[in-house]
A and B are shown apart, each in its own frame.
Chain A
Amino acid sequence: MKQQRLQKRQHPIFSPLALISTILLACGLLGWMYVAGGQAFSPGELSAVNHSDEQLEGVSTHADFEHVCTECHTPFVGVEARLCERCHTDVAQQQQNEDGLHSRFENVKRCQDCHTEHKGSQFDQFAAALVDFDHTVTDFSLEKHMLDYQNSPIACETCHENTGRKFTMVVSACADCHQAADAEFVSVHTEAFGQDCLACHDGHDTMAGFTLEAHAETFALTGAHVDTTCEKCHAGGVFEGTEHACEACHTEPDAHAQMFGVECASCHSPEGWQPALLDGEPFDHAVSTSFSLVKHQTNYNDAAFTCRTCHAAAQPVEFANAQCVECHQPADPQFMAEHTAQFGQACMDCHNGTGEMTEFDHNQVFVLDGQHAPLECEACHANKVFKGTPKDCAGCHQEPVVHAGLFGLQCDNCHTSGGWQPAQLTRHNFPLDHGGEGEIACETCHTATYVEYTCYNCHAHDPAETEQQHLQENIGAEELLNCVECHPTGQESVK
């Protein structure tokens, strides 16, 4: 049974017929391989296309060595560039000299990546390599050269002379094509720069190798110049002969009144006109000269100020004080005469241009607080006369009638600059809230002066009756006028 099972499981290969069949088939296969030679292993015919009838090392096309695999394949290595370069010596030369198209490819040693083979005898390896050819390796991108002005695809031959194996750039091709779009520009441009367009242009719509650093060799493009379009300086596409001086593009503004000249760089930087520079630091008239121009934009005739309005001296940074008087004198000659006579002509010593005097602290002379703070200068300094202004109260204030000349001129004994009211009543013993309804007005009792009073404004009396009652207390009629004498707190009970 075991024997039977073993026999049943025996592989059919061990049957003589199957064995003979296998050997016959294998021999047939080997025989065919012997006859076919290298073709048995070839995945496809080699190219028989030759564009130029030129022979390289006695070989016209790859098809000439169709059956000799080792012409291109190194055993156990594969296709090697060195084998290709035995015939394609020009390619090897390009790499050696680092000149020419094949010196620009990173994968130049993998010829088969671009020049595929075994694709049939009519397969054009050269044309196939162009399908995935990256034109940027030539330093000229076709990004902007896919379609011509008529929106038709641009063929290689539009720019190149195609010899079948080599594309030679036609020098005039760029101008020929672009001339049709803008003849005048191309004419001016080529006249200025020549016809070697590729020396400057890389096909990306920018100039080849153009960088801000490169431009800096002739003119540094910094600050506000970075965003300036080429045409601003190179009008009409003319680059040659472009002036580098500021005045070639910029004119001196009216405010300068032609006093600063064309050496813009001595005060300005490319970052912008404002702020101007003074000794290399940003210049602000208010900070740098302690005199703001906020009130000096236009003169009395509404004419715009220029630097020359104040700086009449030869050197622009020098300032003549006489210029202030010269301008302000006509507006108010009398005042100016007195003012300069009083304070001198060094206006800047007191004035900072904002309408206030520079570094003058009025509090050092007279404290301007309370009711004095909002006062106009003229309230104390009539006719703008500052010198000799009295500092005591009586210089401006008179004792009121109500004082009846009894309080003197030491106002601050009772009053503060906060106001006449409330006065400090240091000797007023009679309660101010007499009547029990809060503080009563002074005039309620002191109808004429503060030294006289009457109670009868509120306490209406029948004189005869009051006299009768007080007589019972031995108080005479004269004393009835001095109620406080007996009623110091305003109460009915006497002291």
Chain B
Amino acid sequence: MNNQVPEKGMNIGTPFISASRLAIPPAKTAVKPYELEMSIFFVVVLCGVYIAYEIMAEPSGGHPFGHTLGIIGTALMVMTEVLYSLRKRTSLMNWAGPVRYWLSFHIFTGIVGPAMVLMHTGMAFRGLAGISFLLTVIVVGSGFIGRYLYTALPRKLTGVSATRQEIEAEALSIQRALTQFEAQKPAQVQQLMAQLSQRPRYRNPILTIYGRTFYQWRYRRKIRRALRRMEQLENSQRKQLEQLLARKRELERQAEILEAARAMLRYWHILHVPVGLTLFFSVAIHVAATIYFGAGLFN
């Protein structure tokens, strides 16, 4: 695998190690998306508007303001699924940019849309509208869980998940760099490196998947503490070592949970998608009933 030309965008590089300096080409990571921050900002603004409205008038899904919120929120929620799926699963929207951007859009509309629908309810959950909102809560909650599960799988810059071989190849290149570095260091450093490279005892894959952020944070703290004691190392070396060790541990963990995460993602789809579709079904009936009975803006 190592001899193969790495696929475009894959984070694989040949580490260059010297006695005094340990250098690894910077990992090509995707631009950090800000969909969560933007979503939270919009939701906060909406909350402010809603509170202002509540002070002036009794909020209700049938009032012009409440109904408008419901219509826009529903439109956003429909776009959440439809546009994302069209881009992700068909070739109809190949022209419309990378899938990861559409995932960001999916997350943004998937948070802001339901928030607007929540305000549309006027905190009254009853009948079909109440069930639609309950399904919305489930789908959004499930979406958060799915998103975390989704990020457990290593991705290439295109958003396509990496194979086990690709993960192992990157881990191996890091190991080589570390071995080369250790060879020129005293036994004390070698011993510490060996200690830090040690994998903990077996954990439940579900725990590993959902606790990975915590485990990674704990491991990084452990590395920093240990390296601080190594007076032979320069600060820049400490920082690079921390990065390499952390990345290696992440790759090892990814390889370890790869199958389990893929399986869980499949099962998650079986929960998320039917509930989502049922939600759309109930919303469609709710909208049809609103038009039929001439309620809200349709009166």
Contact = CB atoms under 8 A, between A and B. Distances in A.
Interface of A: 9-13, 15, 17-19, 21-22, 24-26, 29, 32-33, 36, 39-44, 69, 73-79, 112, 118
Interface in B278-299: 278, 281-282, 285-286, 289, 291-295, 298-299
Nearest to A69: B293
Given A25-B278, A29-B278, A12 B273 contact: yes
A24 B292 CA distance: 26
B294 A18 contact: no
Interface of B: 60-62, 85, 88-90, 124, 126-129, 131, 266, 269-275, 277-278, 281-282, 285-286, 289, 291-295, 298-299
Contact of A11 (B89, B126, B127, B291): B89
Contacts of A77: 294, 299
A32 B289 CA distance: 15
Nearest to B279: A25
Given A22-B277, A25-B278, A44-B126, A76 B294 contact: yes
Contact of B281 (A29, A73, A118): A29
Contacts of B282: 29
A12 B289 contact: no
Given A29-B281, A43-B129, A78 B298 contact: yes
B128 A41 contact: yes
A18 B299 contact: no
Contacts of A79: 294, 299
Contacts of B129: 43
A39 to B, nearest CB: 6
Given A73-B293, A76-B291, A10 B270 contact: no
B62 A43 contact: yes
A12 B128 contact: no
A127 to B, nearest CB: 15
B273 A42 contact: no
Interface SS majority for chain A: helix
A15 B129 CA distance: 28
Nearest to B88: A9
B128 A78 contact: no
A118 B122 CA distance: 13
A32 B295 contact: no
A41 B273 contact: no
A11 B299 contact: no
Given A42-B127, A43-B62, A15 B270 contact: yes
A41 B278 contact: no
B8 to A, nearest CB: 16
A12 B270 contact: yes
Contacts of B273: 11-13, 18, 22
Contacts of A24: 274
B118 to A, nearest CB: 15
18 contacts: A9-B89, A10-B89, A11-B89, A11-B273, A12-B272, A15-B269, A18-B273, A22-B278, A25-B277, A25-B278, A29-B278, A42-B126, A43-B61, A43-B62, A43-B127, A76-B292, A77-B299, A78-B299
